[in-house]
Amino acid sequence: MLDHLAFRDPEAKVIHGATGPWELVIGLEVHAQVASNAKLFSGASTLFGAEPNSNVAFVDAAMPGMLPVINEFCVAQAVRTGLGLKAEINLRSAFDRKNYFYPDLPQGYQISQLYHPIVGEGEIFVDMGPGVARRVRVERIHLEQDAGKSIHDMDPNMSFVDLNRTGVALMEIVSRPDIRGPEEAAAYVAKLRQILRYLGTCDGNMQNGNLRADVNVSVCRPGDYERYQATQDFSHLGTRCEIKNMNSMRFIQQAIEYEARRQIALLEDGGKVVQETRLYDPDKGETRSMRSKEEAHDYRYFPCPDLLPLEIEQTWVDGIAATMPELPDAKVARFVRDWGLSEYDAAVLTAEAENAAFFEAVATRRDGKMAANWVINELFGRLNKQGLGIAASPISAAQLGGVLDLISSGEISGKMAKDLFEIVWTTGGDPAAIAAERGMKQVTDSGEIEKVVDAMIAANPAQVEKARANPKLAGWFTGQVLKATGGKANPATVTALVTQKLGL
């Protein structure tokens, strides 16, 4: 059904169908678990992987007469997230009941914020390569409770319910339909995740389901999206389908790609896209209908009578604003400006706040570019190979800085530095002391090197002839001298002497 769609050019954001080009329009609803030790309306623990049903307060289990009590810390986390996305903070918000029946939802409703969310309009700049950022508008962030977990695969005859997750605070972060392709959707989630991790408001662990996305996809003809942007009138856009509960960047991309092609094929065959909720099957690589709009739940939202509207003070918000960390975009700009790095290197170094802090500790009072090269190539390379995070690095920023100091002072060569890095990595210790102990010292005394160069030239007259005829071959002498001095001679000094002595 789909093979008549030849290709999609990621740059042009266009899928070429049988009847002409189509464009993608995507909006994401991301559920981010609030980083908090306690739940949204109870003091029960949020610890992942605890014994089933061990972290359940009476109110989580919906025992009669139990009342929810708002967790101030979770509210602060949502506000902090809003500030991080440069969003409007609503000093007055309110909770609503979203009613539906499900075994892992003992209350029979989820407490959410439909009509008055705590955070309004914000924005995220999505990185699409060095120096290329696309602005995606965030429509709102609201606070809500997570549901529990039904377990159907433990017993052939019974299902089990684990209520540990019931009532855990979620932030639902809703984007405008400003995302234009699968790569951009994945990059949006990656950027959002990075910002949340910088803020410390969600750990971003997608495997545990702490960050998951509902992906809305529609297709339209070139020009329609611009018409929507100009008027904010959704009728210019195609009918969307929503793919539920995606917790992998790769699957998000695959699902969008498939779903867009499915809709195009349908439209080109004269059919219509029906608004519905779909699920992505990664094994088959396709989306399938979960429920249509007609089957959509009527949630019968109404204001939760157990909770007063949530009123917060501007001074309290200001207090949170005063503790905001430097966020990724600002950090990248500063790294480029202050350390003289490329955007690419700055982006690599700032992927995680801890990595950036490590780099700055190494770079301080040293050459920024040199520090960046060593941190990215040697340190990150080595950490990745062993599957370690920066916190588990066997070599500290001070130790790596020590190695760099020995290079800068000319005491050791780059090659020696790599050996020294290896030794410090495995055995620890002070780089300068290790270098001294092992006699790692390059000869920079040109008198000493000169003797070796002279001897080498005297012993190889044929090679001298060749080099004089073709100066490119002078490198042979440099190599020989470095070898003869056991790699201790400074390569720059050797090259200069060889060039001079051969009269090149």
Nearer to ligand ADP, 25 or 498 (CB): 25
Is residue 98 involved in binding ligand ADP (CB under 6 A)?
A: no
Is residue 189 involved in binding ligand ADP (CB under 6 A)?
A: no
Q: Which one among 176, 227, 415, 418 touches ligand ADP, defined by CB under 6 A?
A: 176
Residue nearest to ligand ADP (CB): 27
Is residue 246 involved in binding ligand ADP (CB under 6 A)?
A: no
Question: Cα(34)–Cα(196) distance, rounded to whole angstroms?
Answer: 9
Torsion of CA 210, 211, 212, 218, to 10 degrees: 170
Is residue 482 involved in binding ligand ADP (CB under 6 A)?
A: no
Question: Cα(277)–Cα(282) distance, rounded to whole angstroms?
Answer: 16
Nearer to ligand ADP, 237 or 494 (CB): 237
**Contacting ligand ADP within 248-307 (CB under 6 A):** none
Nearer to ligand ADP, 293 or 483 (CB): 293
Nearer to ligand ADP, 39 or 193 (CB): 193
Residue 414 has phi, psi (to 5 degrees) of -60, -40
Would you give the distance in Å from CA 482 to the centre of its chain? 44
Q: Which one among 106, 167, 177, 328 touches ligand ADP, defined by CB under 6 A?
A: 177
Q: Which residues contact 195 (CB under 8 A, 6 or more apart)?
A: 84, 85, 124, 327, 328
| 361 dihedral zone (left: phi>0; alpha: psi -120 to 50; beta) | alpha
Please state the closest distance from residue 145 (CB atom) to ligand ADP, in A. 17
Nearer to ligand ADP, 174 or 353 (CB): 174
**Contacting ligand ADP within 203-242 (CB under 6 A):** 216-218, 234, 237-238, 240
| Residue the block writes with tokens 């955070």 | 119
CB-based contact 289:295 (threshold 8 Å): no
Nearer to ligand ADP, 107 or 216 (CB): 216
Is residue 348 involved in binding ligand ADP (CB under 6 A)?
A: no
Alpha helices, H only, 138-288: 182-199, 224-231, 249-268
Q: Which one among 15, 28, 94, 383 touches ligand ADP, defined by CB under 6 A?
A: 28
Query: In sequence order, what DSSP letters do the residues of 73-121 get, joined into one string?
Result: HHHHHHHHHHHHTTPPB-SEE--EEEE---TT-TTSEEEE-SSS-SB--
CB-based contact 477:457 (threshold 8 Å): yes
Is residue 105 involved in binding ligand ADP (CB under 6 A)?
A: no
Residues that bind ligand ADP (CB under 6 A): 25-29, 174-177, 216-218, 234, 237-238, 240
